[in-house]
Amino acid sequence: GTRVSKCQISRPILIGNDAKPLTPEERVHAPPDHTHTWRIFVEGVDGEDISKWIKKVVFKLHDTYNNSTRSIESLPFEVIETGWGEFDIMIRIFFVPETHEKSLTFYHRLKLHPYGPRMEEEKAAGGLVESVQYEEIVFNEPFEYTYKLFLEN
Ligand code: SLL
């Protein structure tokens, strides 16, 4: 393939997690020390279908989890789990092979507890918390396939 010189394409994505305390009924079915259910995700902005250019997302969880490397190959790119602690999740994004783009690695700190500027709202919402980061993925001198893909989408 040929690269498109002097061209830079950037696409926004959202990386984040939400979490909430387990209800007493849910705690009956979860391991005894687990306190929260949470979801880690990679999403498009405004519901964009990112599977047109993202092939798979690998989430590396804390070693306390069974099968701590979770490979997600179709939408939604997310992992839903229960647990008791906060930790850093390594997130590796693989692009569709036609783009010839190398995978990119991000980190997200899993948030379970109300704290920070939104603490009062989070407490009022029964401990429902959310932590989302906006990332700009930049393709520098993309291959023609990638260039055309984003022209059309
Ligand atoms: C902490 N450094 O001490 C962190 C570690 C580990 C979280 C958090 C349970 C996994 C399981 C779980 O929530 N691990 O038992 O399946 O806060």
**Model pLDDT for residues 7-24, shown as the tens digit of each residue:** 999 999 999 999 999 999
pLDDT number for residue 106: 98
Site to probe by mutation for ligand 1, drawn from 35, 37, 65 as the one with most ligand atoms within 8 Å of Cβ, is 65
Contact between 127 and 114 (Cβ < 8 Å): yes
Q: What is the DSSP string of 36-54?
A: EEEEEEEEEGGG--GGGTE
Ligand 1 atom with least separation from CA of 31: 15
pLDDT number for residue 151: 84
- Report d(CA 138, CA 14) in Å as an integer: 14
Instruction: Please give the share of the chain, as a percent, with pLDDT higher than 70.
Output: 99
Instruction: Please give the share of the chain, as a percent, with pLDDT higher than 90.
Output: 94
User: How is the beta sheet containing 36-44 ordered, strand by strand?
Assistant: 77-83, 36-44, 8-21, 129-140
Protein residue closest via CA to atom 2 of ligand 1:
87
Pocket of ligand 1 (CB under 6 A): 31, 62, 64-65, 83-87
Q: Tell me: pLDDT of 152 over 80.
A: no
pLDDT number for residue 14: 98
- Report d(CA 46, CA 33) in Å as an integer: 36
Q: Tell me: pLDDT of 1 over 90.
A: no
Judged by average pLDDT, the poorest of 102-116, 121-135, 139-153 is: 139-153
Q: Tell me: pLDDT of 38 over 90.
A: yes
The chain-wide mean pLDDT, for the chain, equals 96
Ligand 1 atom with least separation from CA of 64: 10
- For residue 89, what is the enclosing H or E element? strand 88-95
Measured between its terminal Cα atoms, the distance across the chain in Å is 20
**Model pLDDT for residues 112-138, shown as the tens digit of each residue:** 999 999 999 999 999 999 999 999 999
Which ipTM did the prediction report?
0.90
**Model pLDDT for residues 59-69, shown as the tens digit of each residue:** 999 999 999 99
